[in-house]
Amino acid sequence: MRLPDVLRHSWVLAAKDLRVEFRSRTAILSAVVFVILAFVVFNFGRDPTAVPNVALAPSILWVTFTLAAILALNRAFHLELENHALDGLLLAPIDRSSIYLGKLIANLVFVATFELIGVPLLMLFFNVRLLPYLAPLVLLIALATIGFVAVGTLFSAMTVRTRFAELLLPVLLLPFMILPLSWGVQATVRLLAGRPLSEIAGWLNMLAVYDIVFVALALLLFPATVSE
């Protein structure tokens, strides 16, 4: 199968997912509410006199995104199992990797929506200055998100067909999420402390390598999760 075909089919699949997702405004609305609630929980889960906002902000940001990603990933393949549409996709003359890529794109857009809401809300709620560091922060968030959504999309294709799917996905995924998460937090801490960009270059490189390795791996392994 040629690469342009794979990309075109991936986009057709992702567009279908996003159309379903954004058709009901419930999805996007729940995303906003979830992010707000997570921030509120964090606010009451600390002693404001003991822990300053700027020290806690990176943790709030990354833990919220991690949880949001798990929520988004949990429902990624439900759509395909409902009427056995997945069987139809496997029958269609498309490469298996385009099914994975399509899901990956849709999941990334969905998680990015959470993050797009989360970053301004963080500035608003916790009075943290993010604007001067916005460009590197966005790069950092994007790299980390690609990493764990790539692994998560692969895993959710498996967990959705097991018992206790909603519980099993975080159990499988979190050990793989903690590494990019910890790199993200440490880089964010340095970023917010106004340290030079060269100090976080190491983490950005690690995240980029992680993304390349796991996206490639997932593309290779995905067929094994769907075919008989």
Partner 1 sequence: MLRTGRWITAIALVLLAGVYVRALLYTPVEASQGLAQKIFYLHVPAAIWAETAMILVGLASVVYLFTKDPRLDRFAASSAEVGTVFCAIVLTSGPIWGKPIWGTWWTWDARLTLTLFLFLIYVAYLLLRSAVMDPATRARFAAVLGICGMCEVPFIHLSVYMFPTLHPMPIILQPGRPKLPGSMLTTWLLSLGVFTLLYVGFVVQRYALSYLHEQLEAVGGEVGHA
Partner 2 sequence: MVNPGQTLAVFGPNGSGKTTLLKVLAGLIQPQRGRAYVEGGRRAIGWIGHQPQLYGQLTVNENLRFWGLLYDAQPGPDLLARLGLEEHANRQVRTLSRGLVQRVAIARALVHDPRVLLLDEPFTGLDRIAAEALSRLLGQHAAAGRATVLVTHNVEEGTELATDVAFMRNGRFVHCAPRSGRGAQQVGEEYRHAIA
How far out from the chain centre does Cα 87 lie?
A: 26
Closer by beta carbon to partner 2, 20 or else 193: 20
Percent of the chain as helix, strand, coil, to the nearest 5:
85, 0, 15
By CB under 8 A, what part of segment 165-204 binds partner 1?
Answer: 168, 171-172, 174-176, 178-179, 182-183, 202-203
- Find the shortest distance in angstroms from Cβ 6 to partner 2: 12
Q: Which stretch binds partner 2 (CB under 8 A): 14-22, 156-164, 166-174, 216-224?
A: 14-22
In this structure, what DSSP letter does residue 62 have?
Answer: H
Nearest distance in Å: CB 167, partner 1: 9
Nearer to partner 2, 47 or 228 (CB): 228
Could you tell which of partner 2, partner 1, none binds residue 178, using a CB distance below 5 to 8 A set by kind? partner 1
Does residue 13 contact residue 102 with C-beta atoms inside 8 Å?
yes
What's the min distance (Å) between Cβ of 22 and partner 1? 30
Residue 84 burial by Cβ neighbours in a 10 Å radius (0-12, 13-18, 19+): exposed
Q: Which of 154, 200, 204, 219 binds partner 1 (CB under 8 A)?
A: 154
Work out which of 119, 210, 211, 215 binds partner 1, going by CB under 8 A.
210
83, 131, 135, 196: residue in contact with partner 2 (rule CB under 8 A): 83
Instruction: State the Cα–Cα distance between residues 123 and 128, nearest whole angstrom.
Output: 5
Helix (H) or strand (E) segment spanning residue 179: helix 165-192
**Taking a C-beta distance cutoff of 8 angstroms, is the pair 76, 156 a contact?**
yes
- The residue type at 197: L
Count of Cβ atoms closer than 10 Å to residue 155 Cβ: 21
| 84 belongs to the binding site for partner 2 (CB under 8 A) | yes
Cα distance between residue 225 and residue 180, in whole Å: 24
Note whether 47 binds partner 2 by CB under 8 A: no
Q: Interface residues with partner 2 (CB under 8 A)?
A: 9, 12, 16, 19-20, 23-24, 79, 82-85, 87-94, 227-228
